């Protein structure tokens, strides 16, 4: 065999060796995705998602990082241009006939830049949701003025009145429905009015009013203060009794009322809250048919009130 033939033979052996080594290396450097929508993380920033791949996708592997991660080439169909990414070894399988590639040598990373232990751990917990229905009980104390100013001033000595209340409120997100009851009672004196002048008859006269109402409203949920408005309908239970009076002279009636209100609730994370509220109520044609109210031509039993509410609930 001449030196020329020996040289050609050596070159051929080298070419065959390179080809065989390349085919073996290719068989050793592919994995198949075994789950759907698996995340590939950026290798240069492991906390950032590079892309997601679907079930059955075959990826070229260039190395390993630890026992948990393959270094893969991001496929062009997923926007890759030759960039490298990390995929969890638990999400893939080595292509049949291949062997997992050796661990890639890479400079040590700081803890902040290490790949996440598992992609699921990077997901944020969903924000807490408000309950769709909330229930509150409340009590309140208010102070206001009757619209029949002259009548109450003549009979009871004052047209201003304290009022105590209680009720229940149900909330449906920003809407609310409220039922409440109030009570007013004061002892005055029967009077006779002539020519605008009031004459005290010296006979005790007790006036009791119990408003019962339903309110429908809107509440804007703020971080510290929640303003609200509402309106509704109700009934006024009116009772007036006098000493030494004939039963027919005593009054026991009920009248339809209408009201609007607005206020501000001071928001708290505890079970106890407070609110300030203003309310206007009209009770048309409730009085004015006899007695002092007829003399003063006052027919409306409503009033304007300010109240403080203490609410209990979550």
pLDDT digits 0-9 by tens, 76-107 = 888 888 889 999 999 998 886 555 555 544 54
How many domains is the chain built from?
2
- Averaging pLDDT over each range in 15-24, 38-47, 48-57, 163-172, which range is the top one? 163-172
Domain of residue 161, residue span: 133-313
Percent of the chain at pLDDT above 90? 54
Q: Rounded mean pLDDT of 15-20?
A: 43
- Residue 146 and residue 18 share a domain: no
- Residue 116 and residue 141 share a domain: no
Within-domain flag for 102: yes
If pLDDT is split at 50, 70 and 90, which confidence band does 66 have? confident
| pLDDT the model gives residue 237 | 97
**Given its phi and psi angles, is residue 288 left (phi above 0), alpha (psi -120 to 50 degrees) or beta?**
left
Within-domain flag for 283: yes
Within-domain flag for 127: no
């Amino acid at each position: 065999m001449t030196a020329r033939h020996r040289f050609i033979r050596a070159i051929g052996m080298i070419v065959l060796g390179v080809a065989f080594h390349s085919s073996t290396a290719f068989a050793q450097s592919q994995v198949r995705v075994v789950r759907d929508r698996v995340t590939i993380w950026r290798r240069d920033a492991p906390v950032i998602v590079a892309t997601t791949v679907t079930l059955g996708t075959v990826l070229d592997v260039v190395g390993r990082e630890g026992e948990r991660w393959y270094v893969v080439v991001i496929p062009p169909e997923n926007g890759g241009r030759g960039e490298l990414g990390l995929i969890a070894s638990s999400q893939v399988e080595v292509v049949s006939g291949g062997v997992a590639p050796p661990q890639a040598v890479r400079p040590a990373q700081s803890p902040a830049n290490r790949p996440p232990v598992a992609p699921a751990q990077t997901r944020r917990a969903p924000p807490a949701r408000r309950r769709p229905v909330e229930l509150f009980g409340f009590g309140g104390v208010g102070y206001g003025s009757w619209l029949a100013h002259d009548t109450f001033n003549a009979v009871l000595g004052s047209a201003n009145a304290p009022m105590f209340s209680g009720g229940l409120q149900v909330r449906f997100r920003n809407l609310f429905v409220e039922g409440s009851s109030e009570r007013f009672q004061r002892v005055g004196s029967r009077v006779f009015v002539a020519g605008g002048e009031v004459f005290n008859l010296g006979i005790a006269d007790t006036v009791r009013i119990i408003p019962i109402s339903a309110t429908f409203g809107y509440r804007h949920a703020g971080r510290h203060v929640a303003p609200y408005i509402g309106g509704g309908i109700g009934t006024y239970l009116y009772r007036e009794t006098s000493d030494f009076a004939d039963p027919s002279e005593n009054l026991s009636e009920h009248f339809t009322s209408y009201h609007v209100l607005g206020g501000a609730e001071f928001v708290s994370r505890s079970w106890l809250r407070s609110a300030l509220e203003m309310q206007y109520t009209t009770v048309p044609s409730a009085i004015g048919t006899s007695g002092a109210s007829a003399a003063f031509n006052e027919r409306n039993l409503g009033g304007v009130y300010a109240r403080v509410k203490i609410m209990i609930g979550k």
